[in-house]
Each structure stands twice: as C-alpha cells, then as structure tokens.
Amino acid sequence: MLTAREIMTGNAECVGENETLEAAARKMLDLDVGALPICGEDNRLKGMVTDRDIVTKCLARGGDPRTAKAGELAEGKPVTIGADDSIEEAIKTMQSHQVRRLPVIDGHDLVGMLSQADIARNYPEDRVGDLVEFISY
C-alpha cells in the first residue's frame, strides 16, 4: 500500500502568513506552481493560497496584492493528509473536500505536497479516469 510520503513532492515551500499576495504570486511563478501552503510565524500550516484565490479574492474585489497578506486568505482549518496515510485515504480526502492538492504533514510539520497528478502517476493506468472522476465530482 502506497503512502502519501512515498509519492508526494517533498520540500514544500510556504508563503508566510504575513507575506503579501504579490510575494506569494512571485513564489508561485518561481516554483512553477499554482498553490502554496500558508505557514504562520510558528511554522504551523494556516491554510492554502492559490493563484485563483489571488485573482478572485483580491484583484477582482479591488484589493492590492502588494499590501494584502497571504494569511488573510487562510480560511478555517486547512485540509491535510498525514505522511503515512494511504493513497486511498488521500483520494477520499480530496473527494470529500473537492481539492486537488493536499499539504502532507508529519505531526505538525509540513513535509510535502500531494497532488492529483502525483496520485495519477502512481495509480493503476486503467483506474486513472476513475481517480479524476472521484476527485472532481
């Protein structure tokens, strides 16, 4: 049974909760990603920010990404997966929360990111279509 730790993208970088959305967007550009975990001063995960969040929750509402803080977009408790949880558990979590990326934690430490694509690359080829349907439904 594969675990999140075995197929995740390791060394996930965070954007600090007090960093601007402009800094988050630049980091996304540099890393070629569409989402970043938001980490607090205590290095604990506070949430996630996506490129879409920056557009719809800041720019489209007249906000200034040069002054708006990433932490302002962190809503509720972040949805995560444990590093030693199974891929089946990750799929269930993605499906129930309708997300395509999960921060992977070990205890309270962020250790990586697990995406739908990571799972698809390691899922039986004849079931990848089911995977996309499960998560996107």
Residues 6+ apart with CB under 8 A from 14: 36, 37, 38, 39, 45, 110
Write out pLDDT tens, residues 34-61. Answer: 999 999 988 789 999 999 999 999 999 9
Domain range summary for the chain, segments of one domain joined by +:
4-136
Residue 11 has pLDDT above 90, yes or no: no
Bridge partners of 64, per DSSP, are: none
Q: How many Å from the N-terminal Cα to the C-terminal Cα in the chain?
A: 25
Q: What is the CATH architecture assignment of 4-136?
A: Roll (3.10)
Give, in order, the Cα–Cα distances in Å from 50 to each of 14, 24, 27, 61, 85. 12, 9, 11, 16, 24
